[in-house]
Homo-oligomer: A and B are copies of this chain.
Amino acid sequence: MKIRIKDIALKANVSTGTVDRVLHSRGDVAENTRKHVMKIVEEMGYEPNLIARTLASKKKFHMAVLIPDPEGNLYWKSPLAGMEKAHSEIAGFNAEINFYPFIIDDEISFHGEFEKLFCQKPDGIIFSPVFLDTSLKIIQICEENRIPYIFIDANIEGQNNLSYFGQNASRSGYLAARLMDYAVQTDGEILIINPSHEKEVTHHYTKREGGFISYFNGLLNTNKQLKIKSVNANTNSDSEINSVLDKCFKQNRSIKGIFITNSKIYKIARYLSNREINSVVLIGYDLLNENLSFLNNKTIDFLIGQKPEEQGYKSVLALFHYLLSGKKPEKTNFSPIDIITKDNFEFYKI
């Protein structure tokens, strides 16, 4: 039998209105009465009925989301999809989400979209703090206006954010290296390809590379000789990728594995298919459709998945629950590091 406001009012010898005022700190209650009511509330372990609250309240929960436009970066389709799924689940609870997509790599757009967002005075914000300076300004504004904010995908340490949903990038690089070590069975060279065009301040790429390298540095007694080499390339440009790879394969014919720190592994796979180079182990990130077809024909050996939909999904639910009932989520939420192969990818598609 759940305790209702009416039960508390009865026991405290006050009206339900007074209990309500106490519970919502709406003032107009004598200090003594307040204490008395609060005591009984705690004694009886009152928990508000969220169903009734939602029905009675005309309040809309307005959440705003500031993330890169998926048009410019397909990866962001996934968090967006997760957010929309979460929204459909809580739409009945007067939850409203507005999306403010900014142009990736464009700090001006980032700032501009935030200004639009802020005009709507949302109750809470989810954003990806990719540009440090502007993000710190946003954080300050949120603090001043007491708007809770959640980081997604990228994180800025030491802030008063409600939560962070993202990935453990260095760990995933480390894991990728272990997989590479399993998959490459003879001596040779491992190539790491880093995207060179990214302008974001807080990026995962160097962390992934760092984790990858640290695995091989930590190896002591090995029965294989593996040399690790890093190169940079603008992975948006197919021609640049091709010329970089051409150069690498010209220099060194014993390349046994390639690890790329973003989702463009399908471009490497395409290159190798075209050049008819076989038996190179390929490891990269994210379940893009382009990647999956190469995974399926075994050109790509492993993909690392970071459950981007789940990040979007959980961040929305966390913010909503906080707004609805004040429940604070964990401050740091790493998504699992999924190892995807030809044999299990279909279970991870959304």
Name A residues whose Cβ lies closer than 8 Å to a Cβ of B. 49-52, 54-55, 92-93, 168, 171-172, 174-175, 178-179, 182-183, 185, 223-224, 334-339, 341-344, 347-348
Distance between Cα atoms of A39 and B33 in the complex (Å):
55
Q: Are B348 and A344 in contact (CB under 8 A)?
A: no
14 contacts across the A-B interface (CB closer than 8 A): A49-B92, A51-B51, A51-B54, A51-B55, A168-B347, A171-B344, A172-B344, A178-B342, A178-B343, A179-B182, A185-B224, A336-B338, A337-B343, A338-B339
List B contacts of A174 (CB < 8 A).
Answer: 343
List B contacts of A55 (CB < 8 A).
Answer: 49, 51-52, 55
Residue of B nearest to A215 (CB): B343
| With A182-B183, A338-B338: A92-B343 Cβ-Cβ less than 8 Å | no
Distance between Cα atoms of A336 and B183 in the complex (Å):
22
Residue of B nearest to A279 (CB): B223
When the two chains form the complex, which single residue of B92, B179, B185, B337 contacts A347, counting CB atoms closer than 8 Å?
B337
Distance between Cα atoms of A350 and B172 in the complex (Å):
19
Distance between Cα atoms of A93 and B55 in the complex (Å):
13
List B contacts of A54 (CB < 8 A).
Answer: 51
Query: Smallest Cβ distance from A211 to chain B, in angstroms?
Result: 9
Q: Are B50 and A92 in contact (CB under 8 A)?
A: yes
List B contacts of A336 (CB < 8 A).
Answer: 338, 344, 347-348
Distance between Cα atoms of A183 and B181 in the complex (Å):
9
When the two chains form the complex, which single residue of B51, B182, B223, B339 contacts A92, counting CB atoms closer than 8 Å?
B51
Distance between Cα atoms of A336 and B302 in the complex (Å):
16
List B contacts of A52 (CB < 8 A).
Answer: 55
Residue of B nearest to A171 (CB): B343
Q: Are A344 and B339 in contact (CB under 8 A)?
A: yes
Residue of B nearest to A334 (CB): B347
Residue of B nearest to A333 (CB): B347
List B contacts of A335 (CB < 8 A).
Answer: 347
Residue of B nearest to A48 (CB): B92
When the two chains form the complex, which single residue of B93, B341, B342 contacts A339, counting CB atoms closer than 8 Å?
B341
Query: Smallest Cβ distance from A322 to chain B, in angstroms?
Result: 16
Query: Smallest Cβ distance from A213 to chain B, in angstroms?
Result: 15
Query: Smallest Cβ distance from A143 to chain B, in angstroms?
Result: 31
Which of A49, A92, A337, A348 has the most CB atoms of chain B within a 10 A radius of its CB?
A: A337
Q: Are B51 and A341 in contact (CB under 8 A)?
A: no
Query: Smallest Cβ distance from A122 to chain B, in angstroms?
Result: 21
Q: Are B92 and A341 in contact (CB under 8 A)?
A: no
Given A51-B51, A55-B55, 15 other A-B residues pairs in contact with their CB atoms under 8 A: A50-B92, A168-B347, A171-B344, A174-B343, A175-B341, A175-B343, A178-B341, A182-B182, A185-B185, A336-B348, A337-B344, A338-B339, A338-B344, A339-B339, A339-B344
